[in-house]
Amino acid sequence: MKYLKAILILFVIFLIGCNRMSDKSAEESPSKDKAVRKYKMEMEKKRKKDKTDPCDTLALKEFILENEEPGTYLLESDKTLTYNVPKVAGIYYKNKKGKGKYIFALIAKSKKGERLIEPKNVIGYESSFINLDSTKLGTAFFYLTLYKCTEDSSFAKIWEAEVPIHGGFNKMTLKKWKPKNILYVELNYEAGIISGHRNYNFFLIDGLEKKPHLLETYEGLVHKRTLAKINDDKYPDYWEYRFWEDSTSIRIRDSIPFYWDKKRHLYVTKVNRRWTRKY
């Protein structure tokens, strides 16, 4: 019986050791991560039917792998159904005034000093709670990035704009703000904490190749902010809502207009001078 107990104890110690080794293996080193991604891309190249476009998303992935910091990934949109094939979070845009292709891409970068992120861990509803404690799975920093692919099939990064959130990405859409006829990229994120969603809207105020202007809108059970035109400048504004809530109902109490103060680089309101927002 004593021998059996000793064997069981040794077996438990062995299992704990295996689990620790497994965890360490999961936190892949940058060199191992790069080798795995390179191999997958080679396999993807072999399966690819159309090999005529040198500026496709596979070429962009290769450019990112070779030129960005380790642990940097081109993301995919969340799957709408269980068996759907996810789409790459990239939008191709043909500039009528110039040559070459532009690609709006959502990039996730791993925080230095932590384990490399896994893209699947920052996409979808479940990952929206990662903002509460993101260090165990690595911390992701999102960037909307504009790349340009020229006629000689070489990529260049024009700009990158940080998205102030760590998880919950759903999809990206290119839209137009009708009041001023301005293009903007809407990044939609699931937000389980507010029981709703957040949109990070990047407005191309000064043209395609200038860094965009960020405005956040959102909607949840007792959270709401909607896009608006409060004054007549070229910057988008918004309404921020206040709610009444009790055990029987939730009702909108008030809406407050915020507009962009170009001198202070903040959203402000005449309702209260101390109420300011960065985006």
Encode pLDDT of 250-270 as tens digits: 989 999 999 999 999 999 999
Q: What is the pLDDT of residues 88-113, one digit of tens each?
A: 999 999 877 667 789 999 999 999 98
DSSP 222: S
Most confident stretch, 41-50, 129-138, 170-179? 170-179
For the chain, give the percent of residues with pLDDT over 90. Answer: 67
Q: Quick check: is 243 in a domain? A: no
Averaged confidence pLDDT in the chain: 87
Contacts for 52-60: CB closer than 8 Å, 24+ residues apart: 54/149, 54/153, 55/101, 55/103, 55/149, 55/153, 55/155, 57/88, 57/90, 59/149, 59/153, 59/155, 60/90, 60/103, 60/105, 60/147, 60/149, 60/155
Q: What pLDDT is attached to residue 211?
A: 97
Whole-angstrom distance, CA of residue 87 vs CA of residue 16: 38
Q: What is the pLDDT of residues 12-54, one digit of tens each?
A: 455 545 444 444 444 568 899 999 999 999 998 888 876 778 8
Beta bridge partners of 227: 238
How many alpha carbons lie under 13 Å from residue 139 in its C-beta half-sphere? 12
Q: For residue 117, give the 3-state DSSP assignment.
A: coil
Q: How far from 145 is each of 18, 202, 207, 264, CA to CA, in Å? A: 40, 11, 14, 25
DSSP 136: T
Q: Quick check: is 49 in a domain? A: yes
Total domains in the fold of the chain = 1
The closest alpha carbon to 225, from 243, 205, 213, belongs to 243
Q: Quick check: is 12 in a domain? A: no
Q: Is the pLDDT of residue 11 over 60?
A: no
CB contact at 8 A, 248 and 276? no
Q: Quick check: is 218 in a domain? A: no
Q: Quick check: is 157 in a domain? A: yes
Q: What is the pLDDT of residues 213-256, one digit of tens each?
A: 999 999 999 999 999 999 999 999 999 999 998 888 898 999 99
Q: Is the pLDDT of residue 187 over 80?
A: yes
Q: Is the pLDDT of residue 156 over 90?
A: yes
Q: Quick check: is 245 in a domain? A: no
The domain in which residue 78 lies consists of 29-167
Q: What pLDDT is attached to residue 60?
A: 94
Q: Is the pLDDT of residue 133 over 70?
A: no
Q: Quick check: is 1 in a domain? A: no
Q: Quick check: is 122 in a domain? A: yes
